[in-house]
Amino acid sequence: MTTATAPVTGALTAPHRLRWLLRLHRPALYVWTAAVVVLTAALLWLGGPLTDAAVHAWRQYDVCRTGATCVYDQDAILRYKDVYQYTTWAVLALPFLVAAWAGAALTGREVESGTAHLAWTQGVSPARWLAAKLAAPAAVAAAGTAVLVALHRWAWLADHGGIDTAKSWSSFETYYANGPLPVALALAGLAAGALAGLATGRALAALAWGMSATLALWGAVHLAAPRLYPAVTRTAGLDHDGPVGSGIVLDSGIVTADGRHLPDPFCGSSAYSTCQALYERIDAVGFFSVYHPRSHYWPLQLLATAPVLAAAALLALAAFVLLRRRTQGKAATA
């Protein structure tokens, strides 16, 4: 009769533990490496040949708008748009991929199968086991995500204003894919998945909870961060077509004579008689807009990233505390 044994990781040196972890999670490492390589190639293609072709096509289109008889490369414009969308959302999906793997494979599957408990009885403490589990994946996830975020920002800047339909800095997907938040979310997803795996002891449940926690954290930061930094308030006369000021808009509408802020009726300029009558009826004197201009980009990014990194640290700490309580309880009853 033979007994399955787990590696005595506590007796191994750091390089041996790293090799053991890489061997244990080799399929996940292959998938992650393939994703990073494919996205890197796609972003280099986007910021190089695709951007050049799209800029050239837009120049052709601008000539056509003057009335000259000509053709332009519409396919190049559409190809740029499609690849930009696919790569942007792929970068934003990376933290959820990390969270799913951390919950399903990193801790959930090993607790469910009993492999973790077997390792704890063969020379490695639970805390050391979890630390070894988190350290290398954290470095790999952070490094891969950071490279792709940097390439995405480079590809987005490559058009130099030559693509009329290029996404603005404040569009939801571009705003997040161009900054450090995906890196912080990847680390938070790793910690959330690991905690979920330890808490549920089920791979599938941990996968769902890890991804849900990452999504909830992102949603909370998205709602809170723009309101933690002072926004710009800009007013305009009723002769404009509506509120002015571009960026991340928090509020906009109509200003009345007594200073009240009302929702924008989306009528347009007071030059139109119907709009003028409407504005007189509600005693409107102008438009207002509360927004963050482009100069606020990095303060907002840092305000969003810092609490996510703090949440990642707290989630990791919670995983260690939970593991300690559960293993101490089992040791006491043994």
> Is the same domain home to 164 and 236?
no
Number of domains in the chain: 2
pLDDT in tens for each of the 334 residues of the chain? 333 444 444 444 555 555 655 566 678 788 899 999 999 999 999 999 999 999 998 888 888 777 666 788 889 999 999 999 999 999 999 999 999 988 888 888 888 887 778 777 776 788 888 888 888 889 999 999 999 999 999 999 998 788 888 899 999 999 999 999 999 999 999 999 999 999 998 889 999 999 999 999 999 999 999 999 999 999 999 999 989 988 999 999 999 999 899 999 899 898 898 999 999 999 999 999 999 999 999 999 999 999 999 999 999 999 999 998 888 755 444 4
- The whole-model pTM stands at 0.86
Has residue 25 been placed in a domain? yes
Has residue 7 been placed in a domain? no
Let me know: does 328 contact 205? Beta carbons within 8 Å: no
> Is the same domain home to 157 and 181?
yes
> Is the same domain home to 64 and 208?
yes
pLDDT at position 213, please?
A: 95
> Is the same domain home to 316 and 286?
no
> Is the same domain home to 178 and 238?
no
pLDDT at position 24, please?
A: 61
pLDDT at position 161, please?
A: 83
> Is the same domain home to 282 and 312?
no
> Is the same domain home to 312 and 281?
no
> Is the same domain home to 123 and 171?
yes
> Is the same domain home to 24 and 105?
yes
> Is the same domain home to 134 and 265?
no
> Is the same domain home to 108 and 133?
yes
Edge-to-edge order in the sheet of strand 232-236: 232-236, 284-292, 248-256, 261-263
pLDDT at position 333, please?
A: 46
Please give the Cα distance from 264 to 283 (Å, whole number).
13
> Is the same domain home to 96 and 136?
yes
Has residue 155 been placed in a domain? yes
Q: How far is CA 106 from CA 24, 33, 184, 209, 227, in A?
A: 10, 17, 19, 14, 36
Q: Would you state the torsion angle of the CA atoms of residues 308, 195, 98, 16, taken in this order, to the nearest 10 degrees?
A: 110
Has residue 6 been placed in a domain? no
311-317: which pairs have CB atoms within 8 A and are 24 or more residues apart? 311/188, 311/217, 312/184, 312/187, 312/188, 312/190, 312/191, 313/191, 315/188, 315/191, 315/192, 315/194, 315/195, 315/213, 316/134, 316/191, 316/194, 316/195
Among 238, 233, 246, residue whose Cα is nearest residue 264: 238
Give the range of the structural domain holding residue 285, as residue numbers without chain letter: 232-295
Q: Would you state the torsion angle of the CA atoms of residues 14, 19, 23, 25, taken in this order, to the nearest 10 degrees?
A: 50
